[in-house]
Each structure stands twice: as C-alpha cells, then as structure tokens.
Amino acid sequence: MTATSLGRRLVTCLLNVSEARRKDLVESVAKAALYDSQGVRRHGTTVLNIFNDHDYNRSVITIVASIESIREAVLSACEKACELFDMRRHSGLHPRMGAVDLVPIYPLGEDVGIEDCAQESRAIALGLTQRVPGTSVFLFGWADAPLHRGLAQRRKEMGWFKKTADLKSIKACVGPVPQKGFGLTGVGASPYVMNCNVTIDTQDLIVGRHIATAIRESTPGGLPGVQVLALPHEGTVEIACNVESVPGSPPEQTGATAPWPSFSIGGRPYCHVPASLITARVAELALGHGVGTKGTALVGFTPNECRGLAEWALSREIGEFWKEQQRVRM
C-alpha cells in the first residue's frame, strides 16, 4: 500500500487514560499500540503524541493507523492500561469514570466513512470486554446506533460529571455492571474533536464557570461545537474545551480571527472553531472579570495537523513519533 493510499484510509484514536503521574507506565500503554506481545512492530501504526497532565492525573495518547489496523492497536493499548491502572487507587482533579476513560475514533482520510468508524468502535467495545473480563463500555456518537447520542449527553447520562458516580446503577451498553477497579469506558466515533485548554490567572472557580457557560455551544452566542468545563489547575483555573467538528463550510472570516480549519468526511464538509478564536473569546470574558489569561494548550493536534504528521511519520516508519515531534511540526 502506498503512502498516498494509506493516507486516504487513516483514522486516529485519542485514547484517554486515568494516569499521568507515572509517565513510564503511560508510555508502556503507548508502546502496546505499536508492538505485539512478542515485541514485533505493527507496521502502519504510529503514536504521534502523549499528553500528560499531573493535576488531572490524565493522559491522552494519539494513535494513528489505517481503518483496517486501528482495532488491534487500540485494543492492545487498552488491555495494557487495564493491567496497569486501578481506579480504586486513582486521584485527580479531572472528571473520570474508567481506567481507560475514553476511546474515540476519528476519521482522517477521505476514503473512511461514518459507518466504517462506527463499526470499528463497536468492535473495539466488544473486543475490550472479551479480552479484559470485567470491563464495561458505554457507546457514543456514530457508534451509538440508532440514537447517535453525543459524548456530552452520554457522559451526563452515565454520571460522568458527578463527583462520585453510582456504578451499580449504571447499565453499560457492552459488558457487566461497572466494577470499581476498571470503572466505565466510553467508546465511540465522530468527526475529529480537538482539545483546547485556556488558563485564566485566577483561583476563582466561579469566574471560570461564568466564562465556560458563555462560550459553551448550548448558550446563545456560544461557540459552535464547544463543550467546556472550568477546572482548578496548577493554582489557576483552566477553561477546558472539547472542540467538536461541525458539519458545513467555514463561516466567512470576520475581523482578525484566523480562518476556520475545514476537511471532509465521505465528501461532506466539516469545520471547527480555531483555537485562536477560543483564546480571544476567553481573554475578552476574563478581562470583564478583571482577570488575565496565562496561555493556551492544544492537547495533541488539529485534524489537519494530525493527518499531516501521521502521513509524515508513517512514510518514514516512525512508530514512537512522540519522541520526535519537537523536531518536526507542520
């Protein structure tokens, strides 16, 4: 398979695991996606990034492979994470329900369809519960047929936002009633979701919540596709945004705001709010409360950057790209 044809079949998984303080163990999970049990390298698979957050005690591992190869890479990583991490001993400031908390599959190539990703997600959900007895899964997005409920809605239904969820009351989509050690894992598929976090220079969580409410998609005048929480973080408050890609072409550019990045899935256009607009809006709202901002962090990449870096890494057969990414940025 040529690099060009591979690029047209690429998907990514932004695997969220409930551990960041033991970085060596998180790297073991990433390596499990790249190497089989005999240590043999899985060709056509790369890990672009490992994002660790100490306060949240949460890591996001960006795995990219073809639609035909993503299942085994992700399942192997999940299996390793379930072996290493125990929710009964976990503490962190970010909401979470599972040792493997989130397994989203996003299409990166034009030849990958909605149902392709949904089918792989459902297969991963079933595979996880079979390979790691005692694990439990809820489905979201395209994988949640026929309702196709979004991640935010499904998390609310599962009790993800509660300080202490009642696991015994949860009915998983796949697997048994969630157990305390493994917890509950969300598995699904959707257009790419970018994570953009803006830090405001205050410890006042009420101010953060006001800002989060103002930019949330569900608020009149909010930003399309933006789901957001205000969380305490390293002595400040972080406006933590999930930036969903929305169907349609980018809006006409106004002012100095950067253009909205766009891409297509199965010939249908999608776009997402640029990080610069989120940062500007948060800064404007924070200023109204007499508060400044301290910076913006992307957890991984934009959709187009993710695809470009993946094609570059795969064309050179670089699996552990997270060790190279400071040298190569696109």
Domains and CATH numbers, the chain: 3-190+303-323 (3.30.990.10), 193-298 (3.30.70)
Residue 29: other Cβ atoms inside 10 A: 27
Complete edge-to-edge strand list for the sheet that includes strand 193-200: 226-233, 236-244, 193-200, 293-298
pTM score, two decimals? 0.94
Q: What pLDDT score was predicted for residue 166?
A: 83
Mean pLDDT of successive 10-residue stretches along the chain, which has 330 residues = 66 98 98 95 96 96 97 98 96 93 95 94 98 98 96 92 83 96 97 96 98 97 96 96 95 71 90 95 97 92 94 95 72
Q: What pLDDT score was predicted for residue 1?
A: 45
Q: What pLDDT score was predicted for residue 225?
A: 96
Q: What pLDDT score was predicted for residue 330?
A: 42
Q: What pLDDT score was predicted for residue 206?
A: 98
| CB-count burial class (<10 Å; 0-12, 13-18, 19+) for 233 | buried
Strand-pair category, 262-265 with 268-271: antiparallel
Q: What pLDDT score was predicted for residue 163?
A: 75
